[in-house]
A and B are shown apart, each in its own frame.
Chain A
Amino acid sequence: MSDLTIKNLKKGFDGTEIIKGIDLEIKDHEFVVFVGPSGCGKSTLLRLIAGLEEVTSGHIHLDGQDITDVAPAKRNLAMVFQTYALYPHMSVSKNMSFALSLAGADKAEIERKVKEAARILELEHLLERKPKALSGGQRQRVAIGRAIVRHPKVFLFDEPLSNLDAALRVQMRLELARLHKELNATMIYVTHDQVEAMTLADKVVVFNGGRVEQVGSPLELYHHPLNQFVAGFIGTPKMAFLGGSVKAADASGVTVALACGPEYCLPLDGSALKAGDRVTLGVRPEHLQIAAAEHSPFKVRLDVSEHLGADTYCYVRTESGELLTVRAPGDFAGQFGERASLIPDLAHCHLFDADGRTLPKPGASARAA
């Protein structure tokens, strides 16, 4: 069992609060990803869990035991750093066995554990090399190996892939996912890359400004973001946001007049809104369809297109100047500057109130609250 519970955790540096009261539960065997823009406190929270920073207030429990004031080495956690943080003067096998030899494990056991980790990570032929003779990906694997040999209760990863090139990052991402299944371990992973978050996580925690914005499975965050920040942060290309105001609203629907012209009636619970309120409509690229200019009142002008083969991401500009991304078929042939119109899939549009909160579906208000 390795359940990690964080209760009302706060951390400040020189009077500035970095972590502003976080409550979080991480269950045994879960792969949890902390994601958010830089400076949102996700790395600080990881370091607090590791014990590398002192908590200002609040508690961290591991398996029911309060570890808030326990020394880092005694927490039974292992961390993989962004810079790998390998010991440059030690061979790969010494790097991996350092913790065990400090703990006074016997030689045969150390060797067995190092061999086992080297097998899992395919490092067997590199055990006698020094870190400087390894490639970036190999170093990363040694760093992971150093964590594995300790059989920690929780693995902590601090942006482990951000120093690798794009191709290697994809490969290591797959290896990490495989490793999680193979070790069946609890892992906490910090990244600013939401693609990593979406692909690896059982549970994603979205941070912003030292607070948790939303916790949920990747698809839950994608389809049901609680607010405009999460909606904009999760998904590539980003969700487009269009400003507008409420024309009429009740518990079964909201009629919105967008600043760029068209009016739409969305099947959302608008009981908290009144006519004239400012709202923002959010729509993902795949929920927009490009049509001939006369087909829809939502007039746009085509900007540049990115042809990716299977899909084309076409950027379009509304009459009020907002830039939107539309996912079009791979053979989309629209030309720069051409007039067109958009047909949004209203069932999949999101509406955010003036405070950025997502409006619930009719009858779902209890869930969102």
Chain B
Amino acid sequence: MLTLKQTRSLRTLVLGSLAWLLALTLFFPIFWMVLTSFKTEVEAFATPPQLFFSPTLENYLHIDSRSDYFHFAWNSLVISFGSTLAGMLLAVPAAYSMAFFETRRTKSTLLWMLSTKMLPPVGVLVPIYLLFKSAGLLDTRLGLVIVYTLINLPIMVWMVYTAFKEIPKDILEAARLDGATTTQEICRVLLPISKGGLASTILLSLILCWNEAFWSLNLTSSAAAPLTALVASYSSPEGLFWAKLSAVSTLACAPILIFGWLCQKQLVRGLSFGAVK
């Protein structure tokens, strides 16, 4: 018979090991990608795969000579921040009205908005491509900002709504009685109080925009192409070069991974909003 204390420590051990196993499984592809990026093309293809080798920077030098990494990185940065800003400007007022002036249709509106995320993007590719063509938005950063804003808006509204829902209505009513206009009420009371939830929304939007590939590949060619397009450009014409592909992928992922890692506390808090009351 195990004592209560032993049962508890056994449970901690089992759960802990499972968590580590899962985390390592999820992390392994990234680890392997970074590792491969320092191999030669021959080593990258070797069977069995090699864990120990003499690292080389030749893949990175090749990328630097073949393409302007910072051009793509700048595009990624501008597009991600641009559409996150635009998204927040739309999501905050929408969530404000839904959270604090709820009507009978609010819940179904929220669900309907989320349901648009279930549509396969390829289903609207042709109409959007044609619209962009007529509007002169193909291969422009503005074009991608518009698309990213719209595809992420449902999630952003939902997250901001959840954050606002946690704020007692009384506080806003107190502000109204104190003489605050709607703008003052939002900017000086609501936003500062919900900054945690807003930060995680911003973070998630940045990550989603940074990693988006489908629309960037289809709507841009070079001028507005972000890092995802750069990665894709290494896959086709000259055949598959695993080491170079790994190097460019590492370069594309690194900024957002580091950023996400720095902000992980915010992110976890935001994503588990409302999960525990």
- A residues near B, CB below 8 A? 50-52, 72-74, 77-79, 81-83, 85-89, 98-99, 102-103, 146, 150
Interface residues of B in 243-261 (CB under 8 A from A): none
Quick one: which of B168, B180, B192 contacts A85, CB cutoff 8 A?
Answer: B168
Report, as a range, how many residues of chain B touch the other chain: 10 to 19
Quick one: which of B177, B189, B192, B193 contacts A72, CB cutoff 8 A?
Answer: B177
Query: A78 and B177: CB pair below 8 A?
Result: yes
> Which B residue sits closest to A47, measured CB to CB?
B173
List residues of chain A with CB within 8 A of the CB of B193.
87-89
> Which A residue sits closest to B194, measured CB to CB?
A89
Query: A87 and B170: CB pair below 8 A?
Result: no
B175 within 8 A of A: yes
List residues of chain A with CB within 8 A of the CB of B189.
87
B66 to chain A, nearest CB (A): 50
List residues of chain A with CB within 8 A of the CB of B171.
85-88
If A79-B174, A103-B179, A146-B174 are given as contacts, then 18 extra A-B residue pairs at C-beta distance below 8 Å, sorted by A number, are A50-B177, A52-B177, A72-B173, A72-B177, A73-B177, A77-B177, A78-B177, A79-B177, A81-B174, A82-B170, A83-B170, A85-B170, A86-B174, A87-B171, A87-B175, A89-B192, A102-B178, A102-B180
- Contacts A87-B189, A88-B193, A102-B184 given; does A73 touch B179 at CB 8 Å: yes
- Measured CA separation A278–B192 after assembly (Å): 63
Query: A73 and B178: CB pair below 8 A?
Result: yes
Between A and B, 23 residue pairs with Cβ closer than 8 Å are: A50-B177, A72-B177, A73-B177, A77-B177, A79-B173, A79-B177, A81-B170, A83-B168, A85-B173, A86-B174, A87-B193, A88-B193, A89-B192, A98-B175, A98-B178, A99-B177, A99-B179, A102-B179, A102-B180, A103-B179, A146-B174, A146-B178, A150-B178
List residues of chain A with CB within 8 A of the CB of B175.
87, 98
List residues of chain A with CB within 8 A of the CB of B173.
52, 72, 79, 81, 85
Find the residue from B176, B177, B179 having the highest chain A CB count within 10 A: B177
Query: A73 and B176: CB pair below 8 A?
Result: yes
- Measured CA separation A226–B175 after assembly (Å): 40
Quick one: which of A51, A74, A85 contacts B174, CB cutoff 8 A?
Answer: A85
Query: B176 and A72: CB pair below 8 A?
Result: yes
> Which A residue sits closest to B172, measured CB to CB?
A85
B65 to chain A, nearest CB (A): 51
A98 to chain B, nearest CB (A): 5
> Which B residue sits closest to A99, measured CB to CB?
B178
- Measured CA separation A233–B259 after assembly (Å): 62
A225 to chain B, nearest CB (A): 34
List residues of chain A with CB within 8 A of the CB of B178.
73, 98-99, 102, 146, 150
